[in-house]
Amino acid sequence: MSEEAATRPGRPVIRIQNAVKRFAGRVVVDIDDLVVGDRPIEGLIGPNGAGKTTLMRMVMHSTSLDQGTITLYPQGQENDRAVVLSDLPTYRMARHGVVKSNQVIMDFEKLTIWDSLLLASAAAKYEHPHRIFDEPAVFAESADEIHMYLKLFGLGDPCGFASSAGDKKLLDIIRCVLLKPRFLLLDEPTAGLPDATTELVMGVVRSLAARGTSVVIVEHDLDVIWNLSDEVHFMAEGKVIMKGTPEEIRAHHTVVEKYLGEGHV
C-alpha cells in the first residue's frame, strides 16, 4: 500500500456505537465503539460464530440492530457531514457509496452476465438504472469497463449465464467494483477461488483502496488477510477484542489461543 493511499485525508469511515444483535435471546454481536475505515484495507477475523458476517450485515441494515447506531462519515470523522446508516433501508446504501459482497452468492441465473454487470454499472450513476438498456450513450459509458473486467478474470460468453460458484463469486466482485464504492465490505471474496484468481482479486482490491475506497474484508484464508490488510480487527464472541497490524495480530497470544493455533503463526 502506498504511503499516499495510507495517509490521504478524507477517507470514509464507519463508526459503530452500542450496537447489539441477539438471535433467540443470545447476544451474537455486542460492539461498544468501533471505527472501521481509518486504514485503506482492514481485515476482520475470528473463529466461526464470532459475529463477523452478522456485523457486516448490520452495517448494511440487512440484519436489523436491536440497539445502537451505525454512522458513515463520507469524508472522515473530522468532517461534520454524516449519514446514519442504521436509519436507512438496505437498498439506499449504494447511493451513499456503501457496498457489500455476498457470502451467499446472488442469483445471477436470471440475467445474462452482461446484463447483470450493465445494471450494476448503471446503478452507480443513475437513479433509474434500466435506462442503460434503452439509451446508447449510457450503454457506451459502461461497456468498456465491463469488457476490461471480463477479460481480466477470464469469464466466458457475456451473453451466457453464470453457472459455477466461482463465476458467480467473480461476478459479485465485479458488480461491487462497478457500483463505485466509497466503502466496500467484502465477505469471503476469495473462498473457493484458485490461487491465480485470488491474486487478481487482491490486485483489484488494492487498486480500489489506492483510489480512496475504504475496504473491510472478512476472509478465512489468512494469507489473504496478512497480505492485503493495513490493520486487522480480531473478533470473538460478538466483540472486537483487539486490533493491530497483521504482524501484531498474528503474534498475539490471545489470537493464537482462540483462533490460529500454535502451528499457524
Domains and CATH numbers, the chain: 13-107+162-260 (3.40.50.300)
Q: Does residue 184 have a pLDDT over 90?
A: yes
Q: Which of 20, 8, 4, 33 shows the shortest CA–CA distance to 233?
A: 33
According to the model, what pLDDT value does residue 142 have?
78
Mean pLDDT over 76-85 rounds to 82
Q: Does residue 138 have a pLDDT over 90?
A: no
pLDDT band at 18 (very low <50, low <70, confident <90, very high): very high
Mean pLDDT over 9-14 rounds to 85
Alpha-carbon gap, residue 6 to 35, rounded angstroms: 16
Contact between residue 126 and residue 113 where contact means Cβ atoms under 8 Å apart? no
Compute the mean pLDDT over every residue in the chain, rounded to the nearest whole number. 87
pLDDT band at 163 (very low <50, low <70, confident <90, very high): confident
Which H/E stretch holds residue 215?
Answer: strand 214-218
Burial of 244 (0-12, 13-18, 19+ CB in 10 A): middle
Dig out the grid coordinates for 51 from the structure. Answer: 459475529
Dig out the grid coordinates for 18 from the structure. Answer: 452500542
